[in-house]
Amino acid sequence: MSEKDRVVIFDTTLRDGEQSPGATMTHEEKLEVAESLDQMGVDIIEAGFPIASEGDFQAVNEIAQRTKNAVVCGLARAAFKDIDRCAEAIKPARRGRIHTFISTSPVHMKWKLQMEPDKVFEMVVAQVTRARNYTDDVEWSCEDGTRTEPDFLCRCVEAAIKAGATTINIPDTVGYTTPEEYFSLFKMVRERVPNSDQARFSVHCHDDLGMAVANSLAGVRGGARQIECTINGIGERAGNAALEEVVMAMKVRNDVLPYWTGIDATRITRASKLVSAVTSFPVQYNKAIVGRNAFAHESGIHQDGMLKHTQTYEIMTPESVGVKQTSLVMGKHSGRHAFVHKLEELGYQLASNQLEDAFIRFKALADRKKHVYDEDIEALVDEEIATAQDRIKLVSLSVIAGTRGPQRATMKLDIDGRTAIEECEGNGPVDAVFNCIKALVPNEANLELYQVHAVTQGTDAQAEVSVRLSEADKTVTAKGADPDTLVASAKAYLGALNKLVIKRQRTKPEAMTATP
Ligand code: KIV
Ligand code: ZN
């Protein structure tokens, strides 16, 4: 494994991922994700977009203070105020990076920036120079790079490197390129730009045509040595290249992709579950590497093959990505010590007050549910993490349902420490529950998605409900789990409302850009 074949992993779950509609995370959730990425061996954590809001700034700043190994990076548009704010946010980092970008494609320059190419060129130099005054680790991205005219692209890349950029990212912003084309693009730029050997090249691919991972790996074959990616592939529109997929592709097919990363792949499953829990974005069942069916063998022929030799149908072991065999873990007689041990085994590190709450909830669950599986504990703890800062909390719920309507629900909530009760009818029990919430917390949000699935098997399995709400241009998703589907529904709806409250406090930066 030579150093020239080392591919640096730049994770943008907390920036591009969090930017995607509905994926809002709270401050504490971002810290938790950053810690998990750092432990996994991610080289660079793009922690946010500091100018976007006070919340984004605080998150980048605290991640910069806490991160032990990774470089902590903030995003900045091509504006001095963005770069100055970003520099301030990453200041406490042991190693900090400023990532500044501007569009270079004809369509973006003409319609989005409404700027002439010469002006854009001038800004590239000015912004990279500004960023270099703060740190010697500066990344420059040519937004919509794959639709940029080659001569102009090479001119800008050369100037950015000359001004001090140490990483050059050529993003496929709109997920338009193909593997062959992206390979040739990197080859061409590296050959034509005279100072290209003074920077590391980076890929950043979106998945609009389902080719983000293939394109990223093609870019690496073309000479890039940084991959920008996200856990579970979350990100703008169809998402970004999935970290777990690019990492495992290089590991499993090292014969044809002879590159290596510093990622501890056994931490992948935990990180995937954490990101799914805090964003409430379910992972597709058949998703590569981290989907719940990724290592499941249902058909008789496959099971027969697996029993004879696992390599018949498995190209990597579940253990290699941190999948543990589901086990019957605990019951109502299990004590605190066993619970803490189980949490450690599942990869959780909870603060003592969170641990106490989680243990109380585990005991309550064990009283109601005969078998408590790993998945039950994960759902319980993930909910504990996701709801720790909630302002609106469910205190109690009772519902009268049955063949004769209308169905009725009575709900008690704690809203900022104040108790409120309401009783409502509905067209079905879920409708009655949601009507109670609307009466107690008046809001204009639209219910865009309501989905229920069982966490494990059996009629006493916990129901996991996902709810997506939208209000004006804001979309949020949340999950709730409980053996009672109606309680899980109420928790999910309230979780989404709590996220909307956070989102309302944030402002959205304009698309681009202010002159320096
Ligand atoms: O997709 C994109 O072009 C981006 C840039 C900010 C790198 O996310
Ligand atoms: Zn992007």
pLDDT digit string, tens, across residues 71-98: 999 999 999 999 999 999 999 999 999 9
Closest to 5 measured CA to CA, from 248, 177, 233, 200: 200
pLDDT (0 to 100) of residue 328: 52
Atom of ligand 1 nearest to the CA of 75: 6
Report the separation in Å between the CA atom of 478 and the middle of ligand 1, taken as the mean of its atom positions.
26
pLDDT band at residue 516 using 50, 70 and 90 as cut-offs: very low
Report the separation in Å between the CA atom of 176 and the middle of ligand 1, taken as the mean of its atom positions.
13
CA dist., res. 516 & res. 511, Å (int): 16
Atom of ligand 1 nearest to the CA of 206: 1
pLDDT (0 to 100) of residue 307: 74
Q: Which long-range contacts (CB under 8 A, 24 or more apart) does 220-223 make?
A: 220/7, 220/250, 220/257, 220/259, 221/183, 221/257, 222/182, 222/183, 222/184, 222/185, 222/186, 222/187, 222/190, 223/186, 223/187, 223/190
**Secondary structure element (H or E) that encloses residue 103, with its range:** strand 96-103
Radius of gyration of the chain (CA): 24
Q: Which ligand sits closest to the CA of 167?
A: 1
Query: What are the tens digits of pLDDT across the range 155-207?
Result: 999 999 999 999 999 999 999 999 999 999 999 999 999 999 999 999 999 99
Q: Position of tokens 């149908």?
A: 313
CA dist., res. 170 & res. 185, Å (int): 9
Greatest alpha-carbon pair distance for the chain in Å reads 78
pLDDT (0 to 100) of residue 298: 63
pLDDT greater than 80 at residue 18 = yes
Contact 295, 318 (CB under 8 A): yes
pLDDT (0 to 100) of residue 419: 95
Query: What are the tens digits of pLDDT across the range 366-425?
Result: 888 877 888 888 888 888 877 877 899 999 999 999 988 889 999 999 999 999 999 999
Which of 38-52, 209-223, 270-284, 469-483 bottoms out in mean pLDDT, i.e. has the lowest? 469-483
Q: Which of 173, 208, 227 to mutate to test the pocket of ligand 1 (most atoms within 8 A of CB)?
A: 173
Report the separation in Å between the CA atom of 15 and the middle of ligand 1, taken as the mean of its atom positions.
10
Closest to 430 measured CA to CA, from 462, 401, 394, 459: 401
In this prediction, what percent of the chain has a pLDDT beyond 70?
96
pLDDT (0 to 100) of residue 515: 32
Which of 98-112, 259-273, 450-464, 482-496 bottoms out in mean pLDDT, i.e. has the lowest? 450-464
Closest to 51 measured CA to CA, from 100, 122, 113: 100
Structure tokens at 7: 């591919």
- Residues forming a β-bridge with 201: 168
Contact 250, 224 (CB under 8 A): no
pLDDT greater than 90 at residue 342 = no
Q: Which of 75, 103, 140, 141 to mutate to test the pocket of ligand 1 (most atoms within 8 A of CB)?
A: 141
Nearest CA to ligand 1 atom 2: 173
Report the separation in Å between the CA atom of 38 and the middle of ligand 1, taken as the mean of its atom positions.
22
Burial of 211 (0-12, 13-18, 19+ CB in 10 A): buried
Q: What is the mean pLDDT of residues 344-349?
A: 79
Atom of ligand 1 nearest to the CA of 16: 8
Q: Position of tokens 């309680």?
A: 487
Nearest CA to ligand 1 atom 4: 173
pLDDT (0 to 100) of residue 351: 82
CA dist., res. 128 & res. 130, Å (int): 5
Atom of ligand 1 nearest to the CA of 145: 3
Q: Position of tokens 């042991």?
A: 94
Output the ligand 1 site: residues, CB below 6 A: 16, 101, 141, 143, 169, 171, 173, 204, 206
Report the separation in Å between the CA atom of 12 and the middle of ligand 1, taken as the mean of its atom positions.
10
Report the separation in Å between the CA atom of 407 and the middle of ligand 2, taken as the mean of its atom positions.
46
Report the separation in Å between the CA atom of 204 and the middle of ligand 1, taken as the mean of its atom positions.
7
Complete DSSP assignment for 136-153: S-EEEEEETGGGS-HHHH
Tell me what the pLDDT averaged over the chain comes to. 91
